[in-house]
Amino acid sequence: MTVVAATSVVHASGLTLRYGRTTALSDVSVTLHGGVTGLLGPNGAGKTTLLRIVATALVPDRGALSVLGADPRTPAGRLAVRRRLGYLPQDPGFHPGFTAFEFVDYVAILKELTDRRARHQEVRRVLDAVGLTGRSGRKIRALSGGMRQRVALAAALVGDPDLLILDEPTVGLDPEQRLRFREVIAELGEGRAVLLSTHQTEEVMALCQRVVVLDRGTVRFEGTPAGLAAHARGRVWTSGSRAPGALASWRAGDGRYRNVGAPPDGAELLEPTVEDGYLTLVDSPAGEEDRR
Ligand SMILES: Nc1ncnc2c1ncn2[C@@H]1O[C@H](COP(=O)(O)OP(=O)(O)OP(=O)(O)O)[C@@H](O)[C@H]1O
């Protein structure tokens, strides 16, 4: 296990965190390497809590954690992680009166870029990386949701971090903006580790090399998107009418019903998608963990 910890970007084992009487995470163990990893799960699954722990913004009640080879429980370890980490929280806390440039510059100051000239160059670099060149002088309050999200991503990119943590980065974006954002994230994942939380299985298919499914504070799956889809193999079928016993059943574009669940004898089976795999996992009893 020590070998895994040494080569992984994040290695967490047995993380547990409670908010009062609510157990947000219970004995969560995950290992992340380079590339894009999606953290998928329903509302309240514990995604934000896990991201905040990895980003050193929250301390778990129990469990061990190594991030970029450092231990966030020690002050020196926390500092080492924070210097090499970019974090896009769900609510970036914009000052709407700031321009995009001013906001990112402010974050760069917090990230200890003290030389003004070098800092401004870095701010221009990250604004350019997210396609905001030419809009950097606009006030944040005058930007669209998609543009604001780009500003937040630019702020997370200051200092060229080795690990990027993105909490639902494409929420609220229209399909075109989402696509553009995906392009940027995919490119970022080529040279570093990206951990992003999402509710969207299509995002996982489009972007992620690995996926972790969290449900009610526990890891239900850790593996590839193809492995997650395979979880529903033999459990997706097509029929001429709605199947009453299915976990989910809907009329597809071809006019036939696509059903997920236990198929009746003789059903015509379909190739499962990541969404099917996810559905069969989160709708089955907790405690059946799957890693592939
Ligand atoms: N500050 C807090 N105080 C009390 N309970 C909290 C707090 N933050 C989160 N929780 C609870 O902890 C659980 C996990 O929340 P968390 O925000 O981590 O889930 P999530 O998967 O990110 O949800 P969502 O997809 O809705 O953002 C939920 O039951 C939530 O209500």
What ipTM was estimated for this complex?
Answer: 0.97
Q: Distance (Å, rounded) from C-alpha 290 to C-alpha 34? A: 21
- Do 170 and 200 form a contact (C-beta atoms < 8 A)? yes
Q: Which of 231, 243, 245, 238 is nearest to 275 (CA)?
A: 231
- Measure the CA–CA gap between 53 and 134, rounded to whole angstroms: 35
Q: What is the DSSP letter of 34?
A: S
Kindly report, residue by residue over 178-232, the tens digit of the pLDDT. 888 888 899 888 889 999 999 889 999 999 999 999 999 999 999 999 999 999 9
110: nearest Cα among 133, 131, 90, 86: 86
| Res 1: pLDDT | 41
Question: Distance from the CA of 242 to the center of ligand 1, in angstroms?
Answer: 35
- Point out the residues of the chain with pLDDT beneath 70: 1-6, 283-292
- 121: Cβ contacts below 8 Å, ≥ 6 apart: none
- CA 278 – ligand 1 centroid, Å: 20
| pLDDT for 26 | 97
Task: Give 138 Cα–ligand 1 centroid separation in angstroms.
Answer: 33
**Per-residue confidence (pLDDT) for residue 173, from 0 to 100:** 80
Residue 256 pLDDT = 93
**Residue given tokens 């760069």 in the structure block:** 108
User: What's residue 56's pLDDT?
Assistant: 94
Give the residue whose CA is nearest to atom 4 of ligand 1. Answer: 19
Pocket of ligand 1 (CB under 6 A): 19, 22, 24, 41, 43-49
Mean of all residue pLDDT scores within the chain: 90
Name which residue sits closest to atom 28 of ligand 1, judged by CA: 44
Question: What global pTM score does this model have?
Answer: 0.90
User: Which residue's CA is the nearest one to ligand 1's atom 29?
Assistant: 44
What is the distance, to the nearest Å, from the Cα of residue 67 to the centroid of all Cα atoms in its chain? 16
Q: Which pLDDT does position 176 carry in this prediction?
A: 84
Shortest-distance atom of ligand 1 to CA 50: 18
Neighbours of 19 (CB within 10 A): 9
